[in-house]
Amino acid sequence: MNPFIIGALLTGYVATLTLVVGILPSTRMRAIVYSVPVPMSTLAILDPGLVDPNILIGLIVNASFFWLVASGDRFGWHRTSSTLIATAVYVGVSWLFKELPGISISTALAFSLVTWILILPRVRRIPAKRSSPVEGFAIKRMIVTFFTATSAVSISSILGPYVVTFPFTGITLALNYPGSVVPFARSFWVNGLPPLLAFGTGMVSGKEMGLPIWGAVLVGFTCWGAITGVFAVFQRSST
């Protein structure tokens, strides 16, 4: 993969994403929009060899990135410091997990779901707050995105499959989000992570069934849409 091509593609995507998220008043809706797996799909199509069950665990590590940044907010750290620490932790954990023996999709999915379920009650006890205004389109944000994407792809030998779930948009969000990241981290864990796990499961399953990568990605998006719809109906009926 050419890091500069990936950087350009993801920078264009984040520019569009910024405009969309800027008009959404709900933190929950922002979390859902940020969870649309366009970066994952892009990397999967460009390098199908990266698609394996590890990306399901990578999604849990990705969600943990936001909690590390949120912890920095609570301790009063500068946002740049907490973002750099969270990114370094993601890279370190990815390198360690990449070195583990290959795991099956059922094992990876079970681990991810159990982790999500065990942490969910504590996350839901955090009060849901109104979202902060999001900064609009800015050159600084695009530069950060381009640098992040090119850097991550350049160290893909270290990250392995975890480059697919690298927080490309997450780093940009963390550095530019004007309010506390705690409400976003909460909404991403509750509302954004399950559809992403469904996407990853569908895409990996499709590839293991012998589908071409574009077919596997379509299966993943179908699963993502189905779980997103189920959560939307469930939350509407519970309000």
Q: Read off φ and ψ for residue 78, nearest 5 degrees.
A: -70, 140
> Of 21, 48, 6, nearest to 166 (Cα)?
6
What 3-state class would DSSP assign to 64?
Answer: helix
pLDDT digits (tens, 9 = 90+) for 41-98: 988 998 899 899 999 999 999 999 989 998 888 888 888 899 999 999 999 999 998 8
For 189, the 3-state DSSP assignment is helix
Copy the structure tokens of residue 173: 């969000």
The answer to whether 184 and 41 have CB atoms below 8 angstroms apart is no
Number of folded domains that form the chain? 1
Assess whether pLDDT exceeds 70 at residue 128.
no
User: What percent of the chain has a predicted confidence (pLDDT) above 90?
Assistant: 37
- Name the one residue in this structure whose structure tokens are 């490309």: 168
How do residues 180-210 score in pLDDT, each as one tens digit? 788 878 888 988 899 999 999 999 999 999 9
Q: Residue 126: give the domain boundaries.
A: 3-237
Q: How many residues does the structure list for the chain?
A: 239
Distance CA 143, CA 148 (A): 8
Q: What is the pTM of this model?
A: 0.86
Q: Give the CB-side neighbour count of residue 201, counting CA atoms within 13 A.
A: 20
